[in-house]
Amino acid sequence: MNKRIFLSAPHMSGNELKYIEKVFESNYIAPLGEYVNKFEESIKNYTGAPNALAVTSGTAAIHLALRVLGIGAGDDVLASTFTFIGSVNAILYQGANPVFIDSDKESWNLSPKLLNKYLCECEKRPKALIVTHLYGMSADIQKIADICRLHGVYLIEDAAESLGATFDGKHTGTFGDFGIYSFNGNKILTTSGGGMLVSGDRDWIEKAKFYSTQAKEPFIHYEHLEYGYNYRMSNVLAAIGVGQMEVIEERVAKKREIFEWYREFLGDNDEIEFMPELPDSRGNRWLTAMTFAHADHSVIMGALEEANVESRPLWKPMHMQKLFENSKRLVDGTSEELFQKGLCVASSTTMTKEDVKQISTIILENI
Stretch that binds ligand PLP, among 34-42, 157-165, 205-213, 339-347 (CB under 6 A): 157-165
Q: Does 241 bind ligand PLP (CB under 6 A)?
A: no
Residue 365 CB, shortest distance to ligand PLP, in Å, is: 30
Q: Of residues 10-39, which lie at the interface with ligand PLP (CB under 6 A)?
A: none
Asked if residue 86 binds ligand PLP (CB under 6 A), the reply is: yes
Q: Is 327 in the site for ligand PLP (CB under 6 A)?
A: no
The single residue among 104, 158, 273, 336 that binds ligand PLP, judged by CB under 6 A, is 158
- The H or E element spanning position 244 is helix 235-245
Of 79-87, 149-157, 208-216, 328-336, the window that binds ligand PLP (rule: CB under 6 A) is 79-87
- Residue 293's CB: how many other CB atoms inside 10 A? 11
Burial letters for 217-248: b for 16+ Cβ neighbours within 10 Å, e otherwise?
eeeeeeeeeeebbebbbbbbbbbbbbbbbebb
Under rule CB under 6 A, residue 348 binds ligand PLP: no
Query: Left if phi > 0, otherwise alpha if psi is -120 to 50, otherwise beta: which for 214?
Result: left
Distance, C-alpha 88 to centroid of its chain: 12
SS3 category, 199: strand
In whole angstroms, the minimum distance from the beta carbon of 132 to ligand PLP comes to: 5
CA distance 249 to 152: 35
> Per CB under 6 A, which region of 11-19, 154-162, 206-214, 323-331 contacts ligand PLP?
154-162
Q: Could you tell me the smallest distance in angstroms from the CB atom of residue 197 to ligand PLP?
A: 11
List b or e across 329-340, with b for residues whose CB sees 16 or more CB atoms inside 10 angstroms. Answer: bbbeebbbebbe
Asked whether position 138 contacts ligand PLP by CB under 6 A, the answer is no
Q: Which amino acid is at 92?
A: L
Interface segment toward ligand PLP; rule CB under 6 A; list 17-25, 105-113, 158-166, 207-215: 158-166
Q: Is-contact 49 43, C-beta < 8 A? A: yes
Q: Is residue 160 a contact residue for ligand PLP (CB under 6 A)?
A: yes
CA-based nearest residue to 7, from 203, 287, 329, 301: 287
Beta-bridge partner residues of 78: 99, 129
Position among 184, 190, 235, 334 found at the interface with ligand PLP (CB under 6 A): 184
Residues that bind ligand PLP (CB under 6 A): 57-59, 83-84, 86-87, 132, 158, 160-161, 182, 184, 195
